[in-house]
Structure formats: structure tokens, C-alpha cells
Chains A and B, each alone.
Chain A
């Protein structure tokens, strides 16, 4: 039941991402709320369920994306696999470590996404990463840090 609620939460976030992207659009970039949700689920869900959510979340996002069907699925599944492995290897169980891991995942996501965006003209990778990837990474990381701070605040309340 808990897993179902978390899965439902993923789709709520997905619809918010699709329907309200223009509302959180700032300086030409918008954050990826789905990856933020998945990063948080990394510390709340069973490892297999994290992969299920990453796959279906990525696939659903790809359906509503204009470019490269499958890129979000591939990136989400790979990054969540990496996230689970890192969490288990380094026994990450505090807010700071969670935030650092989250930021690394976000950075890798935008790196991978920018490579995919630049595939037809790979020489554009650096400009794409500089003007699209990094701003979006900063925006998403900012939201992730805010969420982690809130988690930290409420867990110590």
C-alpha cells in the first residue's frame, strides 16, 4: 500500500512537471521534479521498487517529451541503480550525504541528457551543457537542497 502511494506520488509529480512547467520556468530553464522525487525515494523505498519507479517514471516522462524517446528511462534507471549501489556501499544515512549523492545524480543526469541532446551535432555539447545543462542542474539542485533542509528541519523537530 505504501509503495502504491509512493507510485501515485510519482505520477502526481509527473503531472505537475508536465502541466506546470511554464509556472516554474525561470531564465529559460526549469527543474526536473521527477528526478528530485526519485532521489528522495532512494532513501525511502526498497531497492527494487526504486528501479521500478525509475523505469515507469522515466518512460512516462519520455511519452510526454518531444525528443529522444527512452532517454529519461535509460538515465533514470542507470542513475537510480548507481544511487542504490552508492547508498549501500557508503552506508549513507544522514541528510548531508543524501544531499551530496542527490546533487551528483542530478549532475550526471544533466550531463547524460546534454550528451543526448547534442548527439546529431556533438561539437555543440559544451555550449549545450553550459547554457542548458548547468542552469538546469543548478535549479534542480537548489530545489533538492531546499527539500533536504526541510527534511532535516522536520526530522529534528
Chain B
């Protein structure tokens, strides 16, 4: 044990002395050159780690940049949507100002189209306003361009609007210049046909079609469309085929106005 302790102390003293010598050789030029060369041995390994580290960092940065790009693209699309919404709402406002007589008489609600049901039993759309917003069945629905349809069914937070493009829907209209009253029925796309127009009726090309006001649902003078085509259909029948193009593009409906006109007869 004593021998072991002696060797331990001896080793300690030798190492201690060497350490002190190293400390004194701190500013020795040859010593520093030696350190430099030993350091150089590790340089390739260190370099490899740095390159690997850089690669990892670039990958991380790349992922971050991709995320940022997606975020920015989303922002651009969002801004575009806001811009488009702004344009639509402006047009709605213009429409409201143009038809101030209707909007003075009845209150109205602006709603967003949240779904299309063109292939279902009824040709309809779903809007984001329901009975909680004061919507009731058979209230007329218009867009910035013209007549859209009527409220068909009402839920608390949403409603279904039956479009005038539904095959069973008929709308009572009048021609603005010709002063002819008739019934309009959907044909295809946004084309409608006027029913029972005789050859005696003087119909002018490009005449504007408005709601007649004779129905209990739609108020008078809501814009519907424009005469598109006049055909001498049947000389014996003495009837004329009149086609109307609706002002509304039913495939691009986004915002609609529900006129709070109550129709208790149909409720």
C-alpha cells in the first residue's frame, strides 16, 4: 500500500512539474507551431462536420422558406379574395342605389352563398343566413345583377334558395319598353323562354325584362334579363318564341340580397 501511494505521489509530482513547464512554455514559438500542426490533424474532420452542419441548416432553412412561401401564397389568395369580395359588395351597393325605391320600401339582408345544389331535385343554392337573421320562406332573393329566386326552406343558421333556373319555376315578368306582360320559364344555362307571346305583341329587340309585381313574391321592377332572340315560331299558332338571357350568372353566385318582403299567403 505504501509502495502504491509512493508511486501515486511520484506520478502526481511528475505530471504537476510537466504542467508547470507547459505553462512556462506558453509563449514559446516552437510549442505554438506544434499545437498548430496537431490542430491541423483535426481540420478535415472539423470541416466535414461544418459541411454536414451547413447541409442540415440549409435543409432546415429550405423547409422554413417553403412554409413561408405557402403562407405568403395563402396571404396573396386571401387578399385577392378580400379584393374580389370588396368589388362584389360595391356592385351590390350600386345595385341597391339603382333600385332605391325597392330598398326604401323593404328591409334587406346580405347573405353569402355557401353551397350549390344544381343536381338535386330542386335547382337551388344554400346561403349562410337563416331564421335567426329574420329570413322567412318565399322571401325574394336577388344578386347585384338581378333576380335570383326565392327562399325555399329556412333553417336557424342557413336557408335554401330555389333558383329561377329550376325547371318548375315560373316568374311573372314585364318587358320594360314593349310593356308586354308574360310568364318566364327556364330553358337552359341562363336562357329563359317567355310564354304565350302572340305575334300581335310588339316586342323590341334588347328590351329589358323586369319583374311584373303581379306575383305575391317578387316586388315590381326587379331586373331579370334582356331579350336575346325573337323567333316567328308558328304562323298558324300565331305565337312567337322569345328568348331571354338572364343578367345573373347562376354558376358564379357568391353574395345575394334577401328582400324582407313577407308573403304570408305562401307561408
* A contact residues vs B (CB 8 Å cutoff): 15, 18-20, 47-48, 51-52, 54-55, 58-59, 62-64, 68-71, 73-74, 77-78, 81, 84
* B contact residues vs A (CB 8 Å cutoff): 4, 7-8, 11-12, 15-16, 18-26, 31-32, 35, 38-39, 42, 45-46, 49
Assess whether B15 is in contact with A77, with CB atoms less than 8 Å apart.
yes
Q: In whole Å, how far is B42's beta carbon from the nearest beta carbon of chain A?
A: 7
Q: Which residues of A sit under 8 angstroms from B11, Cβ to Cβ? A: 48, 51-52
Q: Which residues of A sit under 8 angstroms from B21, Cβ to Cβ? A: 70
Q: In whole Å, how far is A116's beta carbon from the nearest beta carbon of chain B?
A: 9
Give the contacting residue for B18; candidates A64, A68, A73; CB below 8 A.
A73
Q: Which residues of B sit under 8 angstroms from A70, Cβ to Cβ? A: 19-26
Q: In whole Å, how far is B28's beta carbon from the nearest beta carbon of chain A?
A: 9
Assess whether B7 is in contact with A73, with CB atoms less than 8 Å apart.
no
Give the contacting residue for A78; candidates B16, B24, B31, B39; CB below 8 A.
B16
A84 to chain B: closest residue by CB:
B8
Q: In whole Å, how far is B41's beta carbon from the nearest beta carbon of chain A?
A: 10
Assess whether B22 is in contact with A62, with CB atoms less than 8 Å apart.
yes
Measured in the bound complex, the distance between the Cα atoms of B16 and A71 in whole Å is: 11
Assess whether A77 is in contact with B19, with CB atoms less than 8 Å apart.
yes
Assess whether B26 is in contact with A69, with CB atoms less than 8 Å apart.
yes
Evaluate whether A47 and B8 lie within 8 angstroms (CB atoms) in the complex, with A58-B19, A73-B19 already known: yes
Assess whether A19 is in contact with B46, with CB atoms less than 8 Å apart.
yes
Measured in the bound complex, the distance between the Cα atoms of B22 and A48 in whole Å is: 21
